[in-house]
């Protein structure tokens, strides 16, 4: 199956897939109400960006895009740890992670 | 261009057909003798106790969070290992610095005692928020 | 390959990052060493500022063109370091009062400072991203540092979710810029000016800028600012609203000035106008002083964008001067708010942060009321204080670029803002005291207030001292 990926699929397909995944992530952030699911949607956005970076990098024969992907993965892991810790801290005080019920702060 | 996807389509059809056939053959040929232990929820041979949605001890989360970070940082080792021979000593020193910083983070976690399990006063998992309403009478 | 000279040309960054790692390690082994960690943090910040002055009027590209040291980056670094120094000086009294006196506090402040320096000095999109995330992740934790208080948790969650969401857009912008220009390095991106008209590049740089506009709190992305600033510990609010903003502005301003064409000028002007409108008008209806200062910080971001939208020789000069003035007055005000605030004592609220509580402050606590009055006058832009000259240079830069309508509306909004600043001043000086409390002030916070008030006056009377620091003019 290697030959399919080597020369037949153009860059457009990868970018289209990346944009579709990014949009799914954005919509997920906007319509879901559970903090963990919102966070998973954000991770989906980051991974779709990784896909587009890798495809640009691969088609241009340049390694910088892939280097950024490594950093994005590492940073996303750190962000996940911090974010989940914040969610746990909130859950201990508030017993909910539904962002509609997290509404003390408003003007 | 799209003709190439035909192979994938044929592959998928075969996969679906194979699974479907296997299921139906099992449905007709397999003997059916249900008993209590066969029907019960599988939990390592024990009878299930309490709700599935109990709150886990918070230390599991701490270990999981630490695991996420140290697990993913390893990703930097892969490209390093590929070019290690060409770059020689420089690459070695670079990765040594990176790993030392990473280990310092691990030392911090150890010194804080976040990975210790033998602390006194075990926390009994307790469900504060009822999922199903239980009548008190 | 990294050369030894690279280390010599990035001493402030090395000092900050090494001391961040050392403090967190020492703190985890010796739990009682908070006092020494505090001293080490201050010494590291002062040393970093001292060494930064050595890089003025120099021009280096270091670490394989990943970082850049020149007049502009050094200037923004010094202002950011100075903001961190002032807020750290006063932080100890606050975190002791709130019983969150942990070593991690100082360490996280240092980590976020390292992130700011990397961001400001970056010459590559990879370092921009890494620096931004280093700063942001430290800020997420610091925002939720009062972990027993729901408001702090909630603001941390909001900041985290929105910040990570915007990081996604920023990264998508980076990937588009990379796809069009074929490089992450500013050197290659700025080289080929024909690409700046390419629609994909325009979308990419717009998404890239959105990420920074979020951090600055500009109009469509300002909604997190009041909530997070209200919920965060007050010293951290001061840090985020000054140092964090300086880092974002210091990173994006050179990028805008180099790449953006005149097409963007109108968009920036409209965003600036709406930001000033939202910030100043919403602040009128607030009664919580942290929220008032948060909306005033949104309005300030609007003023800064007026200078950025000018996109001429004066832009960076005026923006940097305004940032310094803004740091002095905004941080000074937040330090005083943090001193007046009372510890929670089991209550899940920040106590004593309503402007009603400031009534008669001049009679009970003149040592706090007088500097707060100075800072509020300066924020309102009353001469002869630093805030006046900051706004003057920004609006002058805009007039130079024929944005006269924008300058006039900015002046009008500035006049509107006087209402809510003067309301607090009137409460303090002309109302009977709400309560007879006399607030205890330690030596360190009073030192930072003194420095801020003195410099507000100094740069108000002699603004040319600031520009005299630089022998060579800005690009």
Relative to beta strand C60-62, strand C67-69 is antiparallel
Q: C91: closest CA among C34, C6, C10, C16?
A: C34
Q: Is the CB of C137 less than 8 angstroms away from the CB of A78?
A: yes
Using DSSP, state whether C279 is helix, strand or coil: helix
Neighbours of chain B (3+ CB pairs under 8 A): A, C
Cα–Cα distances (Å) from C432 to B125, C76, C363, in that order, read 54, 43, 8
Handedness of CA C71, C73, C79, C85 (dihedral sign): negative
Question: So what's the pLDDT on residue A3?
Answer: 41
B86 touches chain A (CB under 8 A): no
Q: List chain B residues with pLDDT less than 70.
A: 1-2, 43, 45, 118-123, 125-137
Beta bridge partners of C60: C69
In C182-241, where does DSSP find H-type helix?
186-191, 199-216, 224-231, 234-239
In this model, does residue A6 exceed pLDDT 70? no
**pLDDT category, A1, cuts 50, 70, 90?**
very low
Nearest 5°: phi and psi at B42?
-80, 115
Q: What is the DSSP letter of A93?
A: H
B61 Cβ under 8 Å from any chain A Cβ:
yes
B6 in contact with chain A, both atoms CB, cutoff 8 A: no
- Closest residue in chain A to residue C164, using alpha carbons only: A42
B window 6-35, beta carbon within 8 A of C: none
Residue span of the structural domain in which A62 resides:
2-94
In terms of Cα–Cα distance, which of C420, C392, C389 is closest to C407? C392
**pLDDT of C50 above 70:** yes
Q: C79 near C323, Cβ under 8 Å?
A: yes
CA-based nearest residue in chain B for residue A78: B69
Q: Which of B7, B75, B129 sits opposite A73 (nearest CB)?
A: B75
pLDDT of residue C120: 93
C-alpha closest to that of A81 among B106, B75, B65, B105: B65
Please name the member of B90, B101, B111 whose beta carbon is closest to the beta carbon of C28: B111
Q: Is C28 within 8 Å of B90 when comparing Cβ atoms?
A: no
Q: H-helix or E-strand containing A90?
A: helix A64-94
Chain A neighbors of C175, CB-CB under 8 A: 49, 52-53, 56, 65
Chain-chain contact of B90 with C25 (C-beta, under 8 angstroms): no
- Confidence band, pLDDT 50/70/90 cuts, at residue A2: very low
Four-residue CA torsion sign, C196, C198, C201, C203: positive
Q: What is the CATH number of the domain that holds A52?
A: 1.10.287.3510
Residue in A with minimal Cα distance to B62: A85
* DSSP assignment string, C396-417: HHHHHTT-HHHHHHHHHHHHHH
Give CA–CA dist C273/C283, Å, rounded. Answer: 15
Q: How many CA atoms lie within 13 A of C72 on its CB side?
A: 26
Report how far apart, in Å, the C-alpha atoms of A101 and of each of A28, A96, C147, C230, C325 are. 18, 7, 18, 18, 39
Q: How confident is the model at residue C72 (pLDDT cuts 50, 70, 90)?
A: confident
Residues 6+ apart with CB under 8 A from A100: A33
Q: Is the pLDDT of residue A5 over 50?
A: no
A103 occurs within a structural domain: no
> Virtual CA dihedral for C449, C455, C458, C460, nearest 10 degrees?
-90
Taking contacts as CB-CB distances below 8 angstroms, the residues of chain C near B91 are: none
* Structure-token pair, residue C323: 């940032």
Number of domains in chain A: 1
Look up residue C297 and give its two tokens: 């910080």
Residues of C in contact with B112 (CB under 8 A): 28
Chain centroid to Cα C238, Å, comes to 8
User: Which DSSP category does C242 fall into?
Assistant: I
**Per-residue pLDDT at C55 exceeds 90:** no
Nearest CA in chain A to B8: A1
- The nearest alpha carbon in chain C to B104 belongs to C25
Taking residue C93's Cβ as centre, other Cβ atoms within 10 Å add up to 20
B90 touches chain C (CB under 8 A): yes
pLDDT at res. B38: 77
- Select from A4, A67, A80 the Cβ nearest to the Cβ of B68: A80
End-to-end Cα, chain C, rounded Å: 29
Angstrom distances, CA of residue C364 to CA of C359, C436, C437, C438, C440: 10, 6, 7, 6, 12
Count the neighbouring beta carbons within 10 Å of the beta carbon of residue B33. Answer: 5
Q: Which residue has the higher pLDDT, C347 or C127?
A: C127
Helix (H/G/I), strand (E/B), else coil: C124: strand
Phi then psi for C323, rounded to 5 degrees?
Answer: -60, -40
Lowest mean pLDDT among A2-6, A85-89, C6-10: A2-6
The confidence score (pLDDT) of residue B2 equals 65
Q: Does the structure show a pLDDT above 50 at C118?
A: yes
Looking from the CA of C202 toward its CB, the CA atoms found within 13 Å total 9
CA-to-CA separations, C334 to B81, C49, C240, in angstroms, rounded: 50, 22, 11
Residue A99 lies in a domain: no
Chain C residue with CA closest to A75: the answer is C133
Which residues have a Cβ under 8 Å from the Cβ of A34 and sit 6 or more positions away? A97, A98, A99
For residues C45-54, average pLDDT = 92
- Judging contacts by C-beta atoms under 8 Å, the chain C residues touching residue B90 are 1
Domain ranges of chain B: 2-32, 58-112
Handedness of CA C219, C220, C226, C231 (dihedral sign): negative
Q: Can you tell me whether residue C286 is helix, strand or coil?
A: coil
CB contact under 8 A, A106 and C227: yes
In A, which residues are within 8 Å of C174 by CB distance?
49, 53, 68
Q: Where do we find the tokens 């606590």?
A: C365
Asked if residue A7 is part of any domain, the answer here is yes
Over residues C369-421, the pLDDT tens digits come to: 899 999 999 998 888 888 899 999 899 989 988 889 999 999 999 999 999 99
C342: which strand partners?
C351
Q: Give the pLDDT confidence of C272-286 residue by residue, as tens digits.
A: 999 999 999 999 888
pLDDT at A7 over 60: no
Of A52, A90, A105, the CB nearest to C175: A52
Whether residue B129 lies within 8 A of chain A, CB to CB, comes out as yes
Q: How far is CA C464 from CA C308, C392, C459, C467, in A?
A: 21, 13, 8, 5
Instruction: Give the DSSP letter of residue C356.
Output: G
Q: Is C475 a residue whose pLDDT tops 50?
A: no
- Report the chain B residue with the minimal C-alpha distance to residue A83: B65
pLDDT at C224 > cutoff 60:
yes
Question: Could you tell me what percent of chain C has a pLDDT over 70?
Answer: 97
Is residue A107 domain-resident? Answer: no
Cβ contact C202:C188 at 8 Å: no
CA dist., res. C68 & res. C124, Å (int): 9
Residue C167 has pLDDT above 50, yes or no: yes
From chain A, the residues in CB contact with B131 under 8 A are none
Q: Read off the pLDDT of residues A89-98 as tens digits, 9 standing for 90 and up.
A: 888 887 777 7
- Residues in B closer than 8 angstroms to A47, CB to CB, are none
Nearest to C252 by CA among C291, C299, C209: C209
Q: Is B131 on the interface with A (CB under 8 A)?
A: no
Could you write out the DSSP letters of every residue in A1-41?
Answer: -HHIIIIIS-HHHHHHHHHHHHHHHHHHHHH--BHHHHHHH
Cis peptide bond prior to C384, omega within 30° of 0: yes
Chain B contact set for A84 (CB, 8 A): 61, 64-65
Q: What is the ipTM of this complex?
A: 0.91
Contact A83 C133 (CB under 8 A): no
**How far is C80 from C276, CA to CA, in rounded Å?**
23
- B104 in contact with C at a CB cutoff of 8 Å? yes
Q: Report the residue of A6, A10, A77 to disrupt the B interface, i.e. the one with the largest count of B CBs within 10 Å.
A: A77
Cα separation, C296 vs C85, whole angstroms: 22
Query: Is B68 close to A70, i.e. CB distance below 8 A?
Result: no
Please give the pLDDT value at position C110: 95
How far is residue C471's CA from residue C469's CA, in Å, rounded to a whole number? 7
Give the gyration radius of chain A's Cα atoms. 18
- For residue B18, the tally of other CB atoms under 10 A from its CB is 10
Helix (H, G, I), strand (E, B) or coil at C428: helix
Higher local confidence (pLDDT), A98 or C251: C251
- C293 close to C330: Cβ distance less than 8 angstroms: yes
Residue A8 distance to chain C (closest CA, Å): 20
With cut-offs at 50, 70 and 90, classify the pLDDT of residue C16: very high
Is the CB of B79 less than 8 angstroms away from the CB of A70? Answer: yes
The mean predicted confidence, pLDDT, of chain C is 88
CB contact under 8 A, C156 and A89: yes
Chain centroid to CA A90: 23
Within 8 A by CB and 6+ apart from C28, the residues are B107, B108, B111, B112, C103
CB within 8 Å: C175 and A49 = yes
Of A4 and C169, more confident: C169
> Is A101 contained in some domain?
no
pLDDT per residue over C304-320, tens digit each? 999 888 888 788 888 88
Residues of B in contact with A81 (CB under 8 A): 65-66, 68-69
The confidence score (pLDDT) of residue C100 equals 83
Are the Cβ atoms of C150 and A72 closer than 8 angstroms?
no
């Amino acid at each position: 199956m290697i030959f399919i990926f080597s020369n037949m699929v153009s860059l457009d397909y990868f970018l289209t897939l990346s944009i579709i995944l990014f949009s799914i992530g954005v919509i997920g952030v906007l319509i879901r109400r559970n903090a963990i699911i919102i966070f998973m949607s954000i991770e989906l956005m980051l991974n779709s960006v990784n896909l587009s970076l890798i495809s640009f990098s691969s088609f241009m024969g340049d390694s910088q895009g892939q280097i950024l992907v490594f950093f994005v993965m590492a940073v996303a892991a750190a962000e996940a740890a911090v974010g989940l810790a914040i969610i746990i801290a909130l859950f201990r005080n508030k017993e909910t992670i539904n962002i509609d019920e997290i509404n003390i702060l408003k003007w | 261009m799209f003709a190439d996807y035909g192979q994938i389509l044929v592959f998928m059809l075969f996969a679906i057909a194979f699974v479907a056939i296997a299921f139906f053959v099992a449905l007709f040929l397999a003997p059916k003798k249900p008993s209590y232990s066969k029907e019960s929820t599988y939990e390592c041979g024990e009878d299930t106790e309490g709700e599935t949605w109990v709150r886990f001890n918070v230390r599991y989360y701490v270990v999981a969070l630490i695991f996420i970070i140290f697990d993913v940082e390893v990703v930097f080792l892969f490209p390093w290992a590929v070019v290690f021979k060409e770059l020689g000593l420089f690459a070695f020193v670079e990765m040594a610095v990176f790993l030392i910083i990473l280990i310092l983070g691990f030392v911090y976690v150890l010194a804080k005692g976040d990975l210790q399990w033998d602390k006194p006063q075990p926390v009994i998992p307790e469900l504060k928020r009822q999922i199903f309403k239980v009548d008190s009478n | 390959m990294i050369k030894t000279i690279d280390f010599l040309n990035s001493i402030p960054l090395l000092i900050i990052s090494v001391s961040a790692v050392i403090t967190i390690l020492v703190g985890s082994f010796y739990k009682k060493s908070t006092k020494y960690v505090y001293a080490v943090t201050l010494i590291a910040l002062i040393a970093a500022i001292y060494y930064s002055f050595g890089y003025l009027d120099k021009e280096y590209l270091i670490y394989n063109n990943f970082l850049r040291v020149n007049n502009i980056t050094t200037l923004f670094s010094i202002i950011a370091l100075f903001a961190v120094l002032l807020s750290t000086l006063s932080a100890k009294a606050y975190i002791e009062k709130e019983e969150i006196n942990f070593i991690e506090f100082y360490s996280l402040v240092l980590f976020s400072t390292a992130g700011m320096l990397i961001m400001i000095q970056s010459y590559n999109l990879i370092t921009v991203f890494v620096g931004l995330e280093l700063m942001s992740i430290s800020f997420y934790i610091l925002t939720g540092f009062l972990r027993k208080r729901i408001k702090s948790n909630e603001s941390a969650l909001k900041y985290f979710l929105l910040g990570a969401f915007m990081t996604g857009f920023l990264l998508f912008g980076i990937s588009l810029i990379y796809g069009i220009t074929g490089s992450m390095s500013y050197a290659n991106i700025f080289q080929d000016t024909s690409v700046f008209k390419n629609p994909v590049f325009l979308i990419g740089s717009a998404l890239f800028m959105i990420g920074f506009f979020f951090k600055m709190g500009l109009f469509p992305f300002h909604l997190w600012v009041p909530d997070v600033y209200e919920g965060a510990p007050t010293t951290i609010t001061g840090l985020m609203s000054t140092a964090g903003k300086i880092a974002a502005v210091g990173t994006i301003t050179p990028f805008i000035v180099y790449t953006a064409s005149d097409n963007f000028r109108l968009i920036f002007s409209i965003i600036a106008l709406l930001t000033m409108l939202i910030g100043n008008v919403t602040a009128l209806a607030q009664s919580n002083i942290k929220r008032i200062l948060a909306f005033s910080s949104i309005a300030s971001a609007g003023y800064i964008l007026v200078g950025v939208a000018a996109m001429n020789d004066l832009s960076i000069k005026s923006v940097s001067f305004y940032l310094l003035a803004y740091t002095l007055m905004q941080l000074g005000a937040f330090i005083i708010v943090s001193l007046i605030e009372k510890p929670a004592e089991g209550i899940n609220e920040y106590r004593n942060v309503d402007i009603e509580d400031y009534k008669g402050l001049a009679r009970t606590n003149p040592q706090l009321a007088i500097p707060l009055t100075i800072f509020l006058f300066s924020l309102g832009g009353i001469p002869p204080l630093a805030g006046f000259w900051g706004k003057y240079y920004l609006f002058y830069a805009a007039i130079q670029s024929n944005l006269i309508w924008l300058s006039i509306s900015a002046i009008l909004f500035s006049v509107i803002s006087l209402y809510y600043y003067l309301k607090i001043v009137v409460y303090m000086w002309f109302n009977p005291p709400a309560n007879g409390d006399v607030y205890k002030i330690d030596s360190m916070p009073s030192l930072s207030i003194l420095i801020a008030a003195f410099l507000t006056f100094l740069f108000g009377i002699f603004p040319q001292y600031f520009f005299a620091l630089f022998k060579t003019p800005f690009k």
